[in-house]
Amino acid sequence: MNRKASENVEYTLRSLSSLMGERRRKQQDPDWASATGEQSLIAATESFCSLQGSGGPGPGSSTSSGDLERAARRQFQQDETPSFVYVVSVFSALGGFLFGYDTGVVSGAMLLLKRQLSLDALWQELLVSGTVGAAAVSALAGGALNGVFGRRAAILLASALFTAGSVVLSVAQNKETLLCGRVVVGLGIGIASMTVPVYIAEVSPPNLRGRLVTVNTLFITGGQFFASIVDGAFSYLPKDGWRYMLGLSAIPATIQFLGFLFLPESPRWLIQKGQTQKARRILSQIRGNQIIDEEYDTIKNSIEEEEKEVGSAGPVIYRMLTYPPTRRALIVGCGLQMFQQLSGINTIMYYSATILQMSGVEDDRLAIWLASVTAFTNFIFTLVGVWLVEKVGRRKLTLGSLAGTSVALIILALGFLLSAQVSPEISLKPTTPSDKNSSCTKYSSCDGCMLDPGCGFCYKMNKSDVVDSSCIPVNKESTNEAAWGRCTNETKFKAEQLFWAYNFCPTPYSWTVLMGLILYLVFFAPGMGPMPWTVNSEIYPLWARSTGNACSSGINWIFNVLVSLTFLHTAEYLTYYGAFFLYAGFAGLGLIFIYSCLPETKGRKLEEIESLFENKLCTCGTLDSDEGRYIEYIRVKGSNYHLSDNDASDVE
Ligand X SMILES: O[C@H]1[C@H](O)[C@@H](O)[C@H](O)[C@@H](O)[C@H]1O
Report residue 443 CA to chain centroid gap.
42
553 binds ligand X (CB under 6 A): no
Q: Which is nearer to ligand X, 506 or 526 (CB)?
A: 526
556 binds ligand X (CB under 6 A): yes
Per-residue x/- track, 374-403, ligand X (CB under 6 A):
----x-------------------------
Q: Which is nearer to ligand X, 266 or 346 (CB)?
A: 346
Q: Which is nearer to ligand X, 182 or 642 (CB)?
A: 182
Q: Which stretch binds ligand X (CB under 6 A): 75-83, 218-226, 449-457, 598-606?
A: 218-226
- Residue 222 CB, nearest distance to ligand X (Å)? 10
CA R_g for the chain: 29
Determine the Cα angle at 623 with ends 619 and 625, to 5°: 165
221 binds ligand X (CB under 6 A): yes
- Give CA–CA dist 105/175, Å, rounded: 17
- Residue 341 CB, nearest distance to ligand X (Å)? 7
- C-alpha dihedral (548, 550, 553, 558), degrees to nearest 10: -120
- Residue 512 CB, nearest distance to ligand X (Å)? 23
Q: Which is nearer to ligand X, 96 or 456 (CB)?
A: 96
Contact pick of 45, 75, 107, 217 for ligand X (by CB under 6 A): 217
Written as one letter, the residue type at 190 is: G
CB-based contacts of 303-312 (< 8 A; 24+ apart in sequence): 303/271, 303/272, 303/542, 303/543, 306/541, 306/542, 306/543, 307/543, 310/543, 312/543
Query: Concatenated DSSP letters for 399-438?
Result: HHHHHHHHHHHHHHHHHHHHHHHTPPBP---PPPPTTS--
- Residue 583 CB, nearest distance to ligand X (Å)? 14
- Residue 143 CB, nearest distance to ligand X (Å)? 18
Of residues 338-377, which lie at the interface with ligand X (CB under 6 A)? 340, 345-346, 349
Residues that bind ligand X (rule: CB under 6 A) add up to a total of 13
- Residue 149 CB, nearest distance to ligand X (Å)? 25
Region class of 165: left (phi > 0), else alpha (psi between -120 and 50), else beta: alpha
Strands of the sheet with 465-473, listed across from one edge: 465-473, 455-462, 498-501
Q: Which is nearer to ligand X, 269 or 533 (CB)?
A: 533
- Residue 381 CB, nearest distance to ligand X (Å)? 10
The DSSP output letter for 239 is: T
Contact pick of 529, 554, 590, 603 for ligand X (by CB under 6 A): 529
- Residue 621 CB, nearest distance to ligand X (Å)? 22
Element (H, E) at 119: none
- Residue 530 CB, nearest distance to ligand X (Å)? 6
- List, in order, residues 6 or more apart from 517 with CB less than 8 Å away: 348, 352, 355, 356, 359, 374, 408, 412
Region class of 220: left (phi > 0), else alpha (psi between -120 and 50), else beta: alpha
Per-residue x/- track, 446-475, ligand X (CB under 6 A):
------------------------------
Q: Which is nearer to ligand X, 49 or 106 (CB)?
A: 106
170 binds ligand X (CB under 6 A): no
- Give CA–CA dist 527/401, Å, rounded: 5
220 binds ligand X (CB under 6 A): yes
Q: Which stretch binds ligand X (CB under 6 A): 215-223, 361-369, 394-402, 537-545?
A: 215-223
- List, in order, residues 6 or more apart from 447 with CB less than 8 Å away: 419, 420, 423, 505, 575
419 binds ligand X (CB under 6 A): no
Of residues 560-589, which lie at the interface with ligand X (CB under 6 A)? 560
- Residue 378 CB, nearest distance to ligand X (Å)? 5
- Which residue is at the shortest CB distance from ligand X? 529
Q: Which is nearer to ligand X, 146 or 378 (CB)?
A: 378
- Give CA–CA dist 394/534, Å, rounded: 8
The count of C-alpha atoms lying within 13 angstroms of the C-alpha of 562, restricted to the half-sphere facing its C-beta, is 14
Positions in the binding site for ligand X (CB under 6 A): 217, 220-221, 224, 340, 345-346, 349, 378, 529-530, 556, 560
